[in-house]
Structure 1
């Protein structure tokens, strides 16, 4: 029986150029041995998530997420809760494409990204689980909290389509003067932090906002988050830390940073009059308090990475 694949694509991603390459993408997957069909996401909430869950329940062997980080996150949320999960392929067509960058997937050529899938090189990937009394969501690249981490979902989608990465830079310049520390309590494996912080990150890859130096020792499948808590809210000090990030990742030893590995992380806002929105893979993921757990090697994903240092599936 031929393997079945479903391409779930966002027709507005890649400045709306993805649609023009869809036939070529389907042809690559067909030649690779998949009976392939496509689904265009709609403005309806959770369109990609629901379609991914539907085809997984029907026994499809492969789900391909074609779009930006938001589309990929929705697909992850469709298949991660299931007992039987299909393999995942990625065709990046967004603005930052952090996850694809970490997997070595071509970000400038949709057809070449499809060919990565047909090479059959699967790696086991960790998946993050975020939950509180109201929600349970999954993520595969980053979870974060703090004013500046709201950047990715504060930029309107139409501006991202037209102006791409420039839209993020403009929004960052607007938000940086407004950055204020928050009173938070965080617990993690072997420790806790209670006090002021401007932001926290739980990274699962080495690419955050297009920068690969933020979490230089991140692993795709070690069962741990790489945790960063930025204790300062001073704008000049944040810029100093960013300079250290760009200068070889020297921020990891700075006293204004807590940097460590952890499988579990819980965060709460100490000021009950304020809310701390949570960013999951660049999308709004609810508000704190929130508990995070790393699900070790939860999904099998096609990548363009060399066999080492990541362990490939048989």
Structure 2
């Protein structure tokens, strides 16, 4: 696959420490297949989103080198365009969960070759209020875990820092009361976590959702009523052949294209690992809204 003009965005402080080497590796693979390759480094929050919104339509493809947070920022810029370019993700973060959902290798060089040799696929994007997300929307345990991550641990231990934070957070998680309307059906109750997924990976672990989760026009909704290590093990280790039916009564699972969510008090929301939103929230799916380059196994 060849392109006339491409933009490569990388965040100066995101993900792996050897950023210069990573950028060099990526450009070394991509440059021979691109007539004009523009490489831009972003330094401050919001720069990537503004760059994609203001200049995205000037390019045939935008390559995003970074983790899920960098992808989240850039996609929020690209999703607003009338004629968005193709999008290629080059994993440069800690977990790179959305890249994994697209069948891309966590190795930047391998992923770059996959982007040039793979397929362009229309992918669903989730919407939460006036923002979009690629991988997930979550409240409760998931957002508490993100808040508790030690930045020094994240830099040195990578994905292990997420699991350490999860274990530390589990014992301190308090249930909250929620009210929900999913595709017109109302429900309420107590939960420790509500997770609305578009992607199929969390913390590098595959989730028990269907292979077409990124193209089915629906979100996979998990309501975790109480937590513990056995509960997490069921979610993160189950590999379904058909539709997943949780065996643990503490898990409610269903699919929905629209979701209205309220909590008794505003709660922090985690979207793709980024914390800047609070409940209440109105969720929907932008079916096939953006086109991503994917790996051969997708």
TM-score for the superposition, normalised by structure 1: 0.86
1:194 maps onto 2:188 in alignment: yes
Matched positions, count? 293
Identify the range of structure 1 (283-292 vs 189-198) with the bigger mean alpha-carbon deviation.
189-198
Q: Identify unmatched segments of 5+ residues in structure 2.
A: none
How much does 1:118 deviate? 1.5
1:293 to 277, 284, 289: 284
Q: Identify unmatched segments of 5+ residues in structure 1.
A: none
Q: Partners in 1 of 2:159 and 2:90 — Cα distance?
A: 18
2:6–2:34 contact (8 Å) kept in structure 1 = no
1:164 maps onto 2:163 in alignment: no
1:148–1:175 contact (8 Å) kept in structure 2 = no
How much does 1:247 deviate? 4.6
Runs of 4+ in 1 over 6 A off after TM superposition: none
Q: How does 1:1-314 map to 2 (within 5 A)?
A: 3-42=4-43, 44-57=44-57, 59-107=58-106, 109-119=107-117, 121-131=119-129, 136-216=130-210, 219-232=213-226, 235=227, 238-248=228-238, 252-270=246-264, 274-306=265-297
1:13–1:161 contact (8 Å) kept in structure 2 = no
Q: Partners in 2 of 1:34 and 1:102 — Cα distance?
A: 29
User: Residue 149 of structure 1 aligns to a residue in which SS?
Assistant: helix
- Cα-to-partner distance string for 1:269-291 (whole Å, 9 max, x where unaligned): 12xxx321111111114101100
- Cα-to-partner distance string for 1:46-100 (whole Å, 9 max, x where unaligned): 111111112214x211111101110010111111112111110000011111111
Q: Which has the higher strand share?
A: 2
Q: Partners in 2 of 1:19 and 1:38 — Cα distance?
A: 12
User: Residue 252 of structure 1 aligns to a residue in which SS?
Assistant: coil
User: Residue 205 of structure 2 aligns to a residue in which SS?
Assistant: coil
How much does 1:207 deviate? 0.8
1:139–1:281 contact (8 Å) kept in structure 2 = yes
Q: Partners in 2 of 1:172 and 1:8 — Cα distance?
A: 31
Instruction: Name the CA shift for 1:302/1:195 in 2 (closer, same or farther; >3 Å).
Output: same
TM-score for the superposition, normalised by structure 2: 0.90
